Chains A and B, each alone.
Chain A
Amino acid sequence: MIIRSLSFLLCFSSLFLNAIAFANSDSPRLDLIKSRGAVIVGVKNDYPPWAYYDESGNIVGLEVDLAQDIADRLGVSLRLQAVTSSNRISQLEQGSIDIIIATMGDTVKRRQQTGIIDPSYYSSGATILIHKDSPLKSWAELYGRSVCLTKNTYFNRNLIERFLLKPQEYEGTLDNMAALQFGKCTGWIYDDTALTRLLQEPRWKKFTAPLDSIMLIPWTLAVQKSEKHSAFGLLVSNAVIDWHRTGKILALEEKWKIGESKFIQDQNSRWNTKDEQGDFVCQRLADNSLPVSCLSKKSIGAVSEIKNNILSQWGIDFPPAYDDYSLQTLLSGISITLLLSVVSIIGSLLFGILAGIGLYKLPTPLAWVASRINDVFRMTPPLLNLYIVFFGLGGLASLHYGIQFNAIVVATVVFSLYAGASNSALLCQALHAAKKYHPDDSARQLFPSAFQHAYEGINANAVNIVKAVGLASMIAVPELISSSNKIIAEYGSKLEMMTFLLVFYFIIVYAFIFLLNRLQRWVGTNKEDSKESAEEMAS
């Protein structure tokens, strides 16, 4: 009797204390947890090393350690409940668990269903494992290639569609390893968290994962939707900020031998950055929200208010309209495309003029040889020439001399030679034709009329350069097609980006045609002007 009343008293007093501690608690869930004396966390049990059964049948892992930390902060004990990807949100919203810490990715749909906690605490994505000798330098080079994939991985379908892959889907690690070794595929694309772990094993020492992960999905904790902005939601959110600031997750990655992930490193420095006054740049605002710039990019993408723009009202998902980073990517792609076009056109003109006059002046047998060399540039596909110079010669140069070829320079040279060879053939022909009418004139005297005569063809070659610069995306030049593909790989807005690309290309081709015609007219009138002034002077 005494014991019972004592325990009652204890219970009562602890409730009372809680009531003081959370005097203005607006959270029924927090009150429930306190009265229960335990927080129930939904975790996975089949996802090593995040959360899995150890030999003694207990669920352990990185996420379990995080759950324990939440329990410590609440001052209650931890109760784990195994959940699956399909039942975790319904269990949370029904109230049978208090929090989800179960490798859950941040999506717009989940934000509608439940109380996703910002900031995100982890992130996973797809990366590619390749042989150390492989020349692969960018994701764009994978277009149309054979790639090994692990069956039933969530991003496979997206990857195949976004990179037009020829997939070879295998069951497990060993099959993929064998396929890689026999050269059946360029590389093996799989979850980056899993691949980083594999690479630590000695049998994978000939392989590497050099590319940045793509199709990143931030992982988030979740509480009931009604609790997202309550004292409870705030406490969980503050816990995540604390984890990033103190480097707790970095330490846990080491403990569970996962290897430091770039996402966590970024978060660690982001949440520790201070302004001139010595205050944290990233901290909770007066209305308890977090600055948008402090959240991870993809979770911003999921915040619906940012997507609220004119285009999205029409059902158009055009990432550059709401995401600053993809806008920057797109703009730099556009400027590189324009730069590459203009410089290659100038290069092709210079080469065309020099080689054209050279072909015209050379004695016949030499001219024949030179024009056959000229034909090589004209009559081989520019895509192959890019491959030959960048991967072929560039690969040998870096192997033997440690020289790295710059992709933009390679592209400029290849396009200049491709169109320049056609220009020189046109000019040489025009010079020969002009000579028929003025047999005694020198090449210099014949040149203006020959150039005027060949202008239409030269103009067409210039336009062809603009049409062809997109090929540079195949050697990892970050031009417009590359940057559009990058945005597609991140956001999946295929139709919008591709339509933009097509329309934009159409416009720049027309713009170049317009400008080149203007140039021709301008050159034409200038020549007449100078003729007139010459006549005036003569009279």
Chain B
Amino acid sequence: MSTTIYTEIVSWTPALLNGFGLNIAISLVAMICGTLIGWLLASGRHGSSRSIGMSCNLATGLFRNIPSFVLMFYIAFIIPIEFEWQGQLIQFPAWIKASIALAVPVIGFTSDQFLYLRSSLKQNNTVALPMFFVAWTQYFVIILMASSTASVIGVHEIVGRANTAIEVLRDPEFMLWIYLYVAAWFLLAAMTINVILKVISHRIHQRYG
């Protein structure tokens, strides 16, 4: 790597990190919204009504198996960029569309997890609740990885910003290095979270045996 590429990467770093902040924000919004709806579905699945239970099961299966990348395209195409509501022009930013698309697999995942959690808690399994959070955080890492696809619907997250930098510099060598650099940030984030989770689950197992 030549020094010019090194200095270029350093000078683009603040912009890239701001973009990575957006990745984290998109993923968090998707996780929180998805978890709430997943909890509702899980409550419906073991509720008293059979028809509600069936439809919640069906919905979970549906959400579990839709590829978020295809869904992101679908939402980006179908929801307009802006629309009028009661005489006001409402903007629909692309990052919200990305969050909606990423929330869908979260719904399927958390619906299953909540169902499992409830049955474990009924059997007085005390490890179940902390382990639920471990699984939840592991899924957050998966969603964070998937948030990189938001660049294709025009979200200016870290990959989108790297693409901008590539267009400005138009140097094939720089392109390779900046993509590797962006990948390194994802790797760093994922590994950090994984190490923390390993320590936590180790503690959990020590405490509850």
Contact = CB atoms under 8 A, between A and B. Distances in A.
A395 B182 CA distance: 18
Interface stretch (A256-264, A403-411, A497-505, A521-529): A497-505
Given A144-B154, A506-B65, A387 B179 contact: yes
A478 to B, nearest CB: 16
A387 B165 CA distance: 14
Interface stretch (B2-10, B29-37, B120-128, B168-176): B168-176
A509 interface: yes
A380 interface: yes
Interface stretch (B51-59, B67-75, B83-91): B67-75
Given A144-B151, A392-B176, A131 B69 contact: no
B183 A470 contact: no
Contacts of A211: none
A399 B149 CA distance: 27
A146 B164 contact: yes
A379 B163 contact: no
Interface in A347-399: 375-376, 379-385, 387-388, 391-393, 395-396, 399
A interface secondary structure, majority: helix
B67 A470 contact: yes
B182 A164 contact: no
A377 to B, nearest CB: 10
Contacts of B70: 470, 481, 501-502, 505
A331 interface: no
Interface string A459-481: 00001001110110010000001
Contacts of B186: 379-381, 384
B154 A166 contact: yes
Contacts of A237: none
B77 interface: yes
B141 interface: yes
A214 B77 CA distance: 18
A481 B71 CA distance: 11
B129 interface: no
B175 A395 contact: yes
Nearest to B148: A381
B176 A506 contact: no
A24 to B, nearest CB: 54
B197 interface: no
Interface string A477-501: 0000100000010000011001101
Interface residues of B, number: 48
Given A391-B175, A396-B173, A501-B74, A471 B183 contact: no
Contacts, number: 141
A513 interface: yes
Of B68, B149, B177, B190, the most chain A CB neighbours within 10 A belong to B149
Nearest to A180: B167
A488 B65 CA distance: 25
A56 interface: no
A126 to B, nearest CB: 18
Given A388-B180, A388-B183, A494-B78, A505 B67 contact: yes
Interface range on chain A (Cβ under 8 Å from partner): 35 or more
Contacts of B102: none
B187 interface: yes
A388 B176 contact: yes
A539 interface: no
Contact of A384 (B81, B148, B173): B148
B170 A183 contact: yes
Contacts of A144: 94, 151-155, 160
B interface secondary structure, majority: helix
Nearest to B105: A467
B73 A498 contact: yes
A164 B168 contact: no
Given A146-B164, A166-B154, A186-B167, A380 B183 contact: yes
Contact of B69 (A164, A388, A467): A467
A17 B53 CA distance: 87
Given A468-B69, A505-B67, A135 B175 contact: yes
B78 A495 contact: yes
B172 A384 contact: no
B170 A131 contact: yes
Given A143-B152, A388-B179, A468 B67 contact: yes
Contact of A392 (B62, B68, B78, B179): B179
Contact of B66 (A164, A468, A505): A505
B191 interface: yes
Nearest to A133: B170
A185 interface: yes
Contacts of B151: 144, 383
Of A135, A165, A498, the most chain B CB neighbours within 10 A belong to A498
B115 interface: no
B167 A379 contact: no
B146 interface: yes
Given A143-B152, A161-B77, A502-B74, 7 more contacts: A145-B167, A146-B167, A164-B153, A379-B186, A379-B194, A395-B172, A501-B73
Interface of A: 131, 133-135, 143-146, 161, 164-166, 182-183, 185-186, 375-376, 379-385, 387-388, 391-393, 395-396, 399, 463, 466-468, 470-471, 474, 481, 488, 494-495, 498-499, 501-502, 505-506, 509-510, 513
Interface of B: 62, 65-71, 73-74, 76-78, 81, 94, 141, 145-146, 148-149, 151-156, 159-160, 163-164, 167-170, 172-173, 175-177, 179-180, 182-183, 186-187, 190-191, 194
26 contacts: A144-B94, A144-B151, A144-B154, A144-B155, A144-B160, A146-B164, A161-B77, A164-B154, A183-B169, A186-B167, A380-B190, A381-B146, A381-B148, A381-B183, A382-B145, A384-B148, A384-B186, A387-B159, A391-B175, A392-B172, A392-B175, A392-B176, A467-B69, A494-B77, A498-B73, A502-B74
Q: State the 7 A-B residue pairs at the shortest beta-carbon distance, nearest first.
A: A392-B176, A183-B168, A467-B67, A379-B190, A144-B154, A381-B148, A395-B172
